[in-house]
Every structure is written in C-alpha cells, then in structure tokens.
A = this chain, B = another copy of it.
C-alpha cells in the first residue's frame, strides 16, 4: 500500500488535501481513483488508512478512516555526518531513514569541502525514504555546524561513537554495550585531522571504534556503523 507522510492531524473522518507532488504521484503515476485506500502518517498519530475522496491532477483529497498502527518511535540514535559529496550525502540520508536514525546532524570539519547543502532536498529524501521503509516518523535534519561547536555544545549524557581509522580502537560490538542516547560520528572522505582526532578522543562522551581492516567510503561506514549499533543495542536485536 502507498504510504504518505502528511502534516495534518489524524482522527476518524479528518479530511485534507495532499500536497501537489503527492497528488500528482497518486493520480498520474499510480493512477489511484476515488475510493482507493492509502496509508498516511504524520509522526505523531500513528499510521492511518485514508480513503481517496476526490481526484484531480493537482489536488487529491483523502479522508482518514481508522488507525492501523499506533505511533511508535525507534531508539534514540543520531547520526553526525561530515559534509561529503552530494550524491553520497543523499544516499546516507536515505539510509538513516531505513536504519532507524532519529536525527541527522551535519558537520563541517577541517577537511570538509563545505559547499552549499540543499537542506530542503535532504529533508525530502528523508521523508520519501521514511514512507518507503515503513517507519512512523521522519529523521530530523539539522543545519550544518562546525565540529568544534558541536562538541562544545554536546550533551554529555549522549555517547558519541567515533569511527576511528586508528587500528587500536575496539570493534563496535565491544564499544557499544549499553542502550540509551547515542550518536554515531562519520568523518569526511579525507578523514579527521590529527588535531580533530586528538580533540575527539579527549572528550569524555566519545567512544572510539573501528570498522574492519579495509578503508570504507563515508556512505559504507555510516551504514555499517548504524547496522552494528542497531544489532548491538537497538531495535534489530
């Protein structure tokens, strides 16, 4: 069944118009008709079945029927990702939705070529991936900040898994043994600078871990680290 994220409150009989992109998708691409059912969610009220009430090429309206799944929320897991090239950054954002990340925090580092980030496009990718992966919320995506500032303002009760290429770090499974608020930090393609690595290692909330014997691209490192975290203490157990 088609799933759509919508901003409206959901209650029995609630009626609303879908936005133009969703309307065109339903009417033109998926050829849905009056009386067809779609699933809708807003991140607050669970997943609802909604009946298509009117169909135009530009506006489709639906009426919420019944709640099919109560709202839930995944583990308290953030991904902190250095700005990498656009294609890989977009892939990573798509994967954060599939892998149950709650928030994506973009950072710039010494070796980041911080060109312009199209944050609205990243948010659209996160929304579409959330629709397709079946989750009931959408990862938040925060505006980029500098790594120094992020660390200075860090809530020390949230541990930060720092994927360190240095060979002496333990495995993710050795490093992540207790649940609770976590974030995973993935550096830029050029790696962290020695000063940044030193600074990261000196923070009381950082936990270094290694990701095997080969060099991984940022998208692979993000997916692998998130997977291992979910298997260790998240909702893949």
Stretch binding the partner chain, chosen from A54-62, A155-163, A196-204, A224-232: A224-232
A contacts, CB < 8 Å to B: 91, 94-95, 98-100, 132-135, 171-173, 211-217, 220, 223-224, 227-228, 230-231, 235-237
* Chain B residue with the shortest CB-CB distance to A173: B231
Q: Which of B134, B211, B231 contacts A228 (CB 8 A)?
A: B231
CB distance from A127 to the nearest CB of B (A): 15
Residues of B within 8 A of A171 (CB): 231, 236-237
Residues of B within 8 A of A173 (CB): 231
Residues of B within 8 A of A216 (CB): 98, 133
Further pairs besides A98-B220, A171-B231, A228-B228: 4, Cβ < 8 Å: A99-B214, A171-B237, A211-B236, A224-B224
* Chain B residue with the shortest CB-CB distance to A100: B214
CB distance from A218 to the nearest CB of B (A): 11
Q: Known contacts A132-B215, A228-B227, A236-B212; is A220 also within 8 Å of B95 by CB?
A: yes
Bound CA span A2–B215, Å = 14
